[in-house]
Amino acid sequence: MWSWDYAWSILPELLSVIPITIGATFAGFIIACVLGLPIALARRSSSRWISLPVAAVTEFIRSTPLIIQLFVLVFVLPKGLGITLSPFMAGIIGLGIHYSTYLSEVYRSGIDAVPRGQWEASTALNFSKYHTWLRIVLPQSVPPTIPVMGNYLIVMFKETPTLSAITVVELLLTAKIIGSASFKYLEAFTLVGIIFFVLSYPSALLVQALERRLKGRERRGLAK
């Protein structure tokens, strides 16, 4: 049976680990954003020596479970390469690398959406590749992808319970610890679900509002 008194008593302990969950999400997202762009550019490379290996590694990471990659970072790296990471750091890196493969496709779709005339105009104006990418292609390709990237940020936030498998004490593991100590799992897991909803739903609304704003700006630009 549900006990409100017990629920209120464990709520502060659950709220205290929210910074860990949010910190892992945002740090992993930053890594994913930083790595995603070079992966996208490498996959577009005219050299097969670059594009094919990057494509193979990307597909491998994207096609294997995140939890396996986390286990590799925590348990295999210390024995294989002598690299020891804390569970929290391994979780951040694991999230970042895993979702960088998805964001690379977001970047790539944005780049492919740039009209060919823009590329031809930069060539006609004798722009270098550096200026073409920095001043023409990226400013046009990245902004439209922001709403999609925001959706991936929400997905990553809801993926953080996976980090409990490598002993990162985030919301889910805290709920498990509370439940195992009191044998009352209903309140703990229900509160975790509510917390995730309260944090992720406003974020989803913000992403939707941003998407509508960008589409409205695009329509106004076409009207002009």
pLDDT, tens digit, for every residue of 149-191? Answer: 888 999 999 999 999 999 898 999 999 999 998 888 999 999 9
- 222 band by pLDDT with thresholds 50, 70 and 90: very low
Distance CA 204, CA 151 (A): 7
pTM for the whole structure: 0.87
- 140 band by pLDDT with thresholds 50, 70 and 90: confident
pLDDT score of 137 more than 70: yes
Distance CA 83, CA 211 (A): 41
The pLDDT assigned to 213 comes to 76
pLDDT score of 86 more than 70: yes
Supply φ then ψ for residue 83, to 5 degrees.
Answer: -100, 120
> Max Cα separation, the chain?
73
Q: Please, what CATH class does the domain formed by 4-223 belong to?
A: mainly alpha
SS3 for 28-50 is: HHHHHHHHHHHHHHHHCCCCHHH
